[in-house]
Amino acid sequence: MIALFVALSLSGTDLTIVKNRRLEQNATVAKTLFAAGLDEPTVDAVQGALKANGFDFKKARPSDQLRFVFRNGQLDQLDYRRSIFSEWQVRRDGDRYVGKKGELERETQLAVVELTVESSVWEAAKAAGEKPEIAVTLSDVFAWDIDFYRDVQKGDRMRAVIEKVVSKGRVLEYGNVLAASYVGSTVGAKKSFRYRMPDGSESYYLEDGTSARKTFLKTPLKFAAVVTSGFGTRLHPILNYVGSHNGVDYGTPLGTPVWAVADGTVTRAGWDKGGGNMVCVRHVYSLETCYLHLSKVEVKEGQRVAQKTVIGASGSTGLSTGPHLHFAMKKAGSFVNPLTQTFPRADPLPKPLLADFQEKTGPLGAQLEAKSVAEVAR
Ligand SMILES: [Zn+2]
């Protein structure tokens, strides 16, 4: 009698249960669906509905979020969120499940951003109300001239005209930097403009049409959020050229991304008794660079790499007393000091394009010069 009473009382209202789950390490989507209490026909139907809407099961990651809505013990709706950009919804429609891919309304806006360094670039970004990622984006524009780990000083100022991908008033990510300036006590004044060539390719040029690019980058360390230190931490690699061991030591947190300073071919990628995990790349001008003590190697011997390809992560493998990157450069087989080498810039803009370049970048240059609101208020 009691059991019957309970069943009757529930029949009048819908019993809704919501379950939130994350995809666990090494768990498949199917396994997660089963674990949430779905039976096999429902799992099949839900997966079919996801697949029909472009869901790629191979891209399922442990951070994916699932929200199940059960009505009277039956799955009514599943929201599957992979990232802010990709969401799927599966709804029950009678005996079937129908899926759709969520479309996030997003637009690209152009913004002028100004950062003044007090303690670090991360802090400067935060103080300006920006996401710290903007520092990575800006460091990339100046990678041939500024080492964002070492050259940034208190009081340095950056200004950029940058695309922001915005949704509902929130910045999702940064797009291209159209123009940027850097004024710093060690690096001086730098200005770069993004320009689209007639063939559609885009590249950075200085005000007079000189290429911003060089055959070699300023540093083998890509500026990034480092796992062990995270955002907000000031990274301050110790730098030392030691002639006796033929290279430069960058004291760096474990896991700092290491990139190829120039285009080339990987001549070595593997274990060395002294160097630990070691990568060497052969470049133009009979130059070769080597990156030692890595915690992770991401390239293979014989592989062609482009400048800025991340070839591994810094570590402390081999004969090493602590996390650091040993960076060596050889010219025609003999070690040279990478810090004293100078490299030419890439080809300048062809003369016939100069007028167009100046016409298009002129207004951007004015934005870089414009006084900040704070300055005007003073
Ligand atoms: Zn060393």
Which letter does DSSP use for residue 38 in this model?
-
The tens digit of pLDDT for each residue in 206-253 reads 999 999 999 999 999 999 855 333 333 334 455 666 656 788 888 888
Fold identical between 11-102 and 107-213+346-372? yes
The pLDDT of residue 227 is: 38
**Ligand 1 centroid to residue 276 C-alpha, Å:** 12
Q: Dmax of the chain from CA atoms?
A: 93
CATH superfamily, region 239-340: Glucose Permease (Domain IIA) (2.70.70.10)
> Taking the model in full, what pTM does it have?
0.72
Contacts of residue 9, defined as CB under 8 A and 6 or more positions apart, other chains included, come to none
**Ligand 1 centroid to residue 247 C-alpha, Å:** 6
**Ligand 1 centroid to residue 339 C-alpha, Å:** 14
Give the residue with greater pLDDT, 279 vs 61: 279
Buried b (16+ CB within 10 A) or exposed e, 334-357: eeeebeeeebeeeeebeeebeeeb
CATH of domain 107-213+346-372: 3.10.450.350
Tell me the average pLDDT across 127-150.
92
Q: What does the angle CA 341 – CA 346 – CA 351 come to, to the nearest 5 degrees?
A: 140
**Nearest one of 252, 260, 251 to 289, comparing CA atoms:** 260
Poorest-pLDDT segment among 143-152, 193-202, 218-227: 218-227
Q: Any idea which fold 11-102 has? A: Nuclear Transport Factor 2; Chain: A, (3.10.450)
pLDDT at residue 5 is higher than 60 = no
**Ligand 1 centroid to residue 250 C-alpha, Å:** 8
**Ligand 1 centroid to residue 231 C-alpha, Å:** 27
**Ligand 1 centroid to residue 249 C-alpha, Å:** 5
Name the token pair of 256: 């700092």
Where exactly are the structural domains of the chain? 11-102, 107-213+346-372, 239-340
**Ligand 1 centroid to residue 226 C-alpha, Å:** 21
**Ligand 1 centroid to residue 128 C-alpha, Å:** 37
The tens digit of pLDDT for each residue in 267-318 reads 999 999 889 999 999 999 999 999 999 999 999 999 999 999 999 999 999 9
**Nearest one of 302, 298, 297 to 264, comparing CA atoms:** 302
Contacts of residue 294, defined as CB under 8 A and 6 or more positions apart, other chains included, come to 258, 276, 277, 278, 279, 312, 313, 314, 315, 317, 325
pLDDT at residue 11 is higher than 60 = no
